[in-house]
Amino acid sequence: MYYKEMFQEENESLAERHGLAIERIREIPAEAAVAEPYRDFFKRTAEFLIMVEDTRLLLADGAFDDIPVDMLRDMNQCFYQELMPQFYEESYANPAFAVKRLGAEYGQMLSFLYSELRGEISAIYEGRMLAVVILNELFIEIYNLFEDNEQLSPKAVRAIVYYFASDYAEETVAYRIREQLDASLDFAVHIIMDSDLTNAAYLYKYGEFIGENELGLAAHFANMEQEQIDAMARTYTEGFQEGFAAARIDLSKKKYVNIRYSIGQERMVKAAILQFQEIGLEPVIYRAAKQRVNQKGVIRTGYISTSPNRQFEFDHRQDEALFLDKAFVERKLEVIQGAYEKYRDMAAVYAGPACIESFGELPFTPVSKAESLKLDEKQQELSVFYNTQASLIVNKYIPRDQYSFTIIAYPLPEIGDNFSQIFDEIVKVNTLDNNLYRRLQQLMIDVLDQAEYVEVKGTGPNETDMKVMLHRLEHPDKETIFENCVADVNIPVGEVFTSPALTGTQGRLHVSGVYLNDLYYKDLSLCFQNGRVTDYTCRNFEDEAENKAFIRENLLFNHETLPIGEFAIGTNTTAYVMARKYQIIQKLPILIVEKMGPHFALGDTCYSYSEDNRLYNPDGKEIVAKDNEISILRHEDMDKAYFNCHTDITIPYEEIGRITAVNPDGTRTDIIREGDFVLEGLEVLNEPFYS
């Protein structure tokens, strides 16, 4: 495999360090130099690292390829078993257990260590020994400290973790940027293009958790006709191309497309690779980050498998609290700047991400644990500062107005017994008639373009009462406020959206239940004044302070407030009825849900970093509502213009009392009333409701 050959020289130079480290680790389970309760932690962790090394040896000598698929499955289960809910309660990966057994002083840090060491699994499959060596040496250094009672202290352990994160940033952070840009890092590409994708054995080549979702998804794709696979891929790859056409960006100047997908979807990914190659684009494919220094909360970017336990990821979502300070932020930003400069030629021809999402996992409501590491107030401010500065660096080398993207989604077997039927329904939803929706949505836009503001009111238990101010058109004959969105970058078809004016936008947004970034919010309520969040709550926890902290961390991303960056009206009633039929609304991704009702986005506008690109609707009118009172500050101070987040919150049709366009003279036109489209000409959108 070329990927392994690429690191051969580096790996050979590390052979002695690796040999010494693993020899030392093999001795630890039999030693009694460390006192209890810590001895058990180091013994169990060393045994895990020995299992990793034994698997590495199988991979290195080629014996892995001859292992029967049932044995591969057993090996995979051994790696991930203790993260599974039934075993997690007594795993050191669980900070609550670690603190209970090891005490508050060391429990959190050692749980972080164990979580971090699990990154070795992916490293051995990729054949990258540097990650293995530095993690093994980190483990040994901390073990040595626990052997020496005179030197042992929480401060000393924390210092080792800090300098590990900081000193190795040149390797860990810089490599993460490289793998996002360098097509020669083709580990996953080889799996996709060279494997028999009808044989489940290929799934175990990644080193990721392989569960029933991955096995079932791969089996479903294996039974599909190639013609259907090609058609699904074509919808996705053509949507990517249409995004460039709509933004009038020259795709011919690009060389690389980043493909993101869920393990099990490889047959479609392979077809997409071949289709992208037809237009001159080579795939860049990388896995979701494994080390905390490269992670952001619970968000996973790259190719992924379903998690053996999402509570594990939630428990460790802020582990950077161990090393996040001003010096570290400056160090990381310096490394990022240097890495982008090094790979600037690759960045210049990066075309953007093409994402195949998955959905259907059982709803996850996280448990907030006092034992989990958490950012303090100063660290939260540093996190916001870092995200802003990092995004500016990225935009310098990959200008947002010079690339595009596309997203499509398919269900996982976990969605239920009707998986096959739901999968087929989603294929239909993803290929609805663009021309029909384009025409219907234009009728809506023609009314909205005349309005001064829009009122959105809930019905029944939904207490939404929002006034959304719209930009004024200076030249209504050739300009428009709303974008007519069909199936290009965001598949499926079905919404009109705008960047509302903030001044005067006010009210309360309420949703009885919604999943955002894979986290559930019960009775989410957000209050706005002049388009900014002024208050917020939910009912996830009995303690109101916990509710507010949950929203601040995971929805406001540690900002004091966020503006409304988008107001939209979804029109895909076909998707909505399908979701109600199979009772899967709560399992759908926001990509589909946002097309199933009105929605508001917190954070940046849809046009962040590309506001000056001239965009046109199919009727030829230029879209001019791309800025708001905050994003326009980019002309004065880029640091004040962007928040580097954008989270859509959708109100389902049955919770909508009415959506009304209100003109400057006070005349009112209802677009939706009691969940139905009532604007003349849109009657066809109601047909799925009553068919």
Supply the pLDDT for residue 3. Answer: 62
Residue with tokens 């990821």: 313
Q: What are phi and psi of 67, to 5 degrees?
A: -75, 130
Which residues in 280-340 belong to E strands, given as ranges? 282-284
Predicted local confidence at residue 1, as pLDDT: 45
Q: Where are the alpha helices (DSSP H) in 149-203?
A: 154-167, 169-179, 187-194
Listed residue (109, 75, 111, 120) closest to 210, CA to CA: 75
- DSSP tag of 196: -
- If one counts every other C-beta atom within 10 angstroms of the C-beta of residue 62, the result is 8
DSSP 8-state assignment for residue 596 = S
pLDDT attached to residue 66: 85
Which tokens belong to 244?
Answer: 């460039």
- Nearest-angstrom CA–CA distance, 496 and 595: 9
For residues 541 and 519, what is the distance between their CA atoms, to the nearest angstrom?
13
- Residue 542 is given by DSSP the state S
Q: Judge contact between 122 and 208, C-beta under 8 A.
A: yes
What's the average pLDDT block by block, 10 residues per block, for the chain (691 residues)? 75 96 98 95 98 93 84 95 97 98 96 98 96 98 93 96 96 97 96 96 97 97 97 95 89 97 98 98 98 94 96 97 97 98 98 96 88 96 94 95 94 96 95 92 97 96 96 94 87 94 97 84 96 96 93 92 96 94 88 91 92 88 94 90 92 94 97 96 94 77
DSSP-derived secondary structure letter, 469: E
Helix locations, 257-325, DSSP H: 266-278, 310-315
pTM, rounded to two decimals: 0.90
